[in-house]
């Protein structure tokens, strides 16, 4: 019998509405008891002054394997996840080949098991080969273990296909996660369309490109009763559309990435491709609307859209460089430094968006420290000051705009099924 006792930490479990200083006992990989006293056989962890919470869950990452191992592998991506405090990630299907068959889903599961870092859940394709022409075999993909469906990297463009996807996914109670973009409106764009793009002479991607497709998907979700999850929301108009849809009882959820509440289109004045995202960094008023959405619960998930690209790809000219940045190792520090420390969110609310809320949307048995739950635990030092060095990243890529940023707070220890998988050594 393997026993682990985490002592004197501030245990915050939003799923159980738990927030107090206590001891947490783990036996054989499961949460066994609160307020336990140490025994001679316990492995002890002193968490005095630390926050003990359910292992963080990132429901939007790109692990690149199979097909683009020069950018990331499941081994390196999940190592980066641990270093960021995540005990579970859900990977997107825009690999090469795409994750549209039972065999590809099982390949991801096998590689994750070999890596032996954190849990990896699979978001499988909506359409075969992500071509948007024919539905993938959703039932077989669920049977293989898929927890949701998306053609991420691209929108599900055909409205009839999207409607049928909602209807079929309802049979398995799975969400459709859509990259919301009307590509006729963004073609050739490299940044948000606004005053800054006008001044820089760079082609823009208007906010309405996101908002038009969200409007369509909300209408389809309302018609079918399907579960819509809006990926990486970024505009004020989008937040308001989702807020109104929720008020009407439509089954819609959404997420935001830290770069969409910490950076603006003004950062593109550097012409640094590490600020090139899709959806793009938006204007200040969009950031403020997203923060309001986080506060009032319209946005219930914080995720990373971790998108590694090998250095030679991001060093291309701005119009040639791919979209996206690393995110797994900077998400939690950005949340602490830019949401919790300024008082925008309190700890339980912020942690809910990183634990139980993504678990609920994906319907996975994670995100809680309830008695009997899997002992996936993140121990956070909320006070440590440190500087992010992307060259120390566990990811295979280095594309981050946060290199050299000073943060407060980070994951200190990460425990998966009762085993300490990561320790930060300062």
β-strand partners of 413: 379, 423
In order, the DSSP letters of 388-410 are: --GGG-SSS----TTTT-EEEEE
Q: How many CB atoms lie within 10 A of CB 134?
A: 12
Compute the distance between CA of residue 105 and CA of residue 389 in angstroms, rounded to an integer.
33
Mean pLDDT of 391-405: 98
The tens digit of pLDDT for each residue in 195-237 reads 999 999 999 999 999 999 999 999 999 999 999 999 999 999 9
pLDDT band at 329 (very low <50, low <70, confident <90, very high): very high
pLDDT band at 46 (very low <50, low <70, confident <90, very high): very high
Mean pLDDT of 152-164: 97
Question: What pLDDT was estimated at residue 131?
Answer: 97
Compute the distance between CA of residue 45 and CA of residue 320 in angstroms, rounded to an integer.
48
The sign of the torsion formed by the CA atoms of 217, 219, 223, 229 equals positive
Question: What pLDDT was estimated at residue 23?
Answer: 98
Here the contacts of 189-192 (C-beta below 8 Å, separation 24 or greater) are: 189/280, 190/268, 190/276, 190/280, 190/318, 190/319, 191/265, 191/268, 191/275, 191/276, 191/280, 191/281, 192/265, 192/280, 192/281, 192/282, 192/283
Compute the distance between CA of residue 238 and CA of residue 230 in angstroms, rounded to an integer.
9
Question: What pLDDT was estimated at residue 425?
Answer: 84
Compute the distance between CA of residue 403 and CA of residue 270 in angstroms, rounded to an integer.
14
Question: What pLDDT was estimated at residue 140?
Answer: 98
Mean pLDDT of 102-114: 98
The tens digit of pLDDT for each residue in 344-378 reads 999 999 999 999 999 999 999 999 999 999 999 99
Q: How many CB atoms lie within 10 A of CB 397?
A: 25
SS3 labels along 200-236: HCCCEECHHHHHHHHHHHHHHHHHHCCCEEECCCCCH
Q: Among 348, 377, 367, which Cα is nearest to 5's?
A: 377
Q: Quote the distance between the C-alpha of residue 3 and its chain's center.
A: 31
Compute the distance between CA of residue 157 and CA of residue 179 in angstroms, rounded to an integer.
10
Compute the distance between CA of residue 83 and CA of residue 378 in angstroms, rounded to an integer.
10
Q: What percentage of the chain carries pLDDT values higher than 90? A: 99
Q: What percentage of the chain carries pLDDT values higher than 70? A: 100
In order, the DSSP letters of 293-341 are: HHHHTSS-EE---B----HHHHTS-TTTSPS----TTTHHHHHIIIIIT
C-beta separation of 83 from 411 below 8 A? yes
Instruction: Provide CB contacts within 8 A for 45, sequence distance 6+.
Output: 4, 5, 6, 7, 379, 413, 420
Compute the distance between CA of residue 9 and CA of residue 379 in angstroms, rounded to an integer.
8
Mean pLDDT of 246-257: 98
Q: Does the predicted TM-score (pTM) go above 0.95? A: yes
Mean pLDDT in the chain?
Answer: 98
Question: What pLDDT was estimated at residue 426?
Answer: 73
Mean pLDDT of 83-101: 98
Compute the distance between CA of residue 77 and CA of residue 26 in angstroms, rounded to an integer.
27
Q: How far is CA 107 from CA 97, 199, 365, 422, in A?
A: 11, 47, 22, 25
The sign of the torsion formed by the CA atoms of 398, 403, 408, 412 equals positive
Compute the distance between CA of residue 312 and CA of residue 397 in angstroms, rounded to an integer.
10
Structure tokens, 235? 């505009």
Question: What pLDDT was estimated at residue 19?
Answer: 98
Beta strand pairing status for 377-387 and 406-416?
A: antiparallel
Compute the distance between CA of residue 155 and CA of residue 417 in angstroms, rounded to an integer.
35
pLDDT of residue 21 exceeding 80, the answer is: yes
Active site residues: 305
pLDDT of residue 189 exceeding 90, the answer is: yes
Structure tokens, 5? 């006792």
Q: How far is CA 160 from CA 132, 135, 163, in A?
A: 10, 11, 5
pLDDT band at 276 (very low <50, low <70, confident <90, very high): very high
pLDDT band at 52 (very low <50, low <70, confident <90, very high): very high
Question: What pLDDT was estimated at residue 103?
Answer: 98
Compute the distance between CA of residue 158 and CA of residue 101 in angstroms, rounded to an integer.
21
């Amino acid at each position: 019998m393997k026993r682990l006792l985490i002592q004197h930490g501030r245990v915050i479990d939003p799923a159980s509405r738990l927030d107090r200083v206590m001891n947490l006992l783990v036996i054989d990989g499961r949460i066994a008891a609160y307020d336990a006293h140490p025994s001679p056989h316990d492995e002890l962890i002193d968490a005095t002054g630390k926050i003990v919470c359910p292992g963080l869950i990132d429901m939007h990452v790109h692990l690149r394997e199979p097909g683009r191992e020069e950018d990331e592998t499941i081994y390196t991506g999940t190592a980066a996840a641990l270093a960021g405090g995540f005990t579970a990630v859900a990977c997107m299907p825009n690999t090469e080949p795409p994750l549209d068959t039972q065999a590809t889903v099982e390949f991801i599961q096998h590689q994750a098991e070999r890596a032996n870092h954190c849990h990896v859940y699979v978001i499988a394709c909506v359409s075969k080969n992500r071509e948007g022409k024919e539905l993938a075999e959703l039932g077989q993909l669920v049977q293989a273990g898929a927890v949701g469906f998306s053609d991420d990297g691209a929108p599900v463009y055909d409205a009839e296909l999207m409607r049928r996807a909602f209807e079929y996914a309802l049979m398995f109670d799975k969400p459709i996660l859509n990259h919301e973009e009307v590509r006729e409106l963004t073609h050739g764009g490299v940044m948000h369309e606004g005053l800054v793009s006008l001044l820089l002479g760079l082609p823009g991607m208007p906010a309405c490109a996101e908002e038009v497709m969200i409007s369509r998907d909300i209408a389809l979700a309302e018609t079918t009763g399907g579960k819509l999850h809006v990926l990486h929301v970024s505009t004020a108009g989008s937040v308001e559309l989702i807020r109104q849809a929720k008020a009407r009882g439509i089954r819609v959820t959404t997420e935001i990435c830290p770069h969409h509440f910490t950076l603006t289109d003004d950062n593109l004045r550097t012409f640094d491709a590490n600020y090139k995202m899709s959806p793009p960094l938006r204007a200040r008023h969009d950031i403020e609307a997203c923060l309001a959405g986080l506060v009032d619960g319209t946005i219930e998930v914080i995720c990373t859209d971790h998108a590694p690209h090998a250095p030679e790809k991001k060093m291309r000219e701005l119009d040639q460089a791919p979209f996206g940045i690393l995110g797994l190792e900077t998400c939690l520090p950005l949340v602490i430094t830019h949401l919790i420390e300024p008082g925008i969110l309190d700890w339980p609310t912020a942690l809910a968006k990183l634990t139980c809320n993504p678990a609920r949307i994906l319907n996975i048995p994670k995100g809680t420290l309830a008695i009997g739950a899997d002992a996936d635990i993140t121990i956070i030092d909320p006070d440590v000051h440190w500087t992010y060095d992307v060259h120390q990243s566990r990811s295979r890529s280095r594309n981050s705009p946060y290199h050299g940023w000073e943060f407060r707070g980070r994951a200190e220890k990460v425990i998966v099924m009762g085993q300490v998988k990561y320790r930060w050594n300062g």
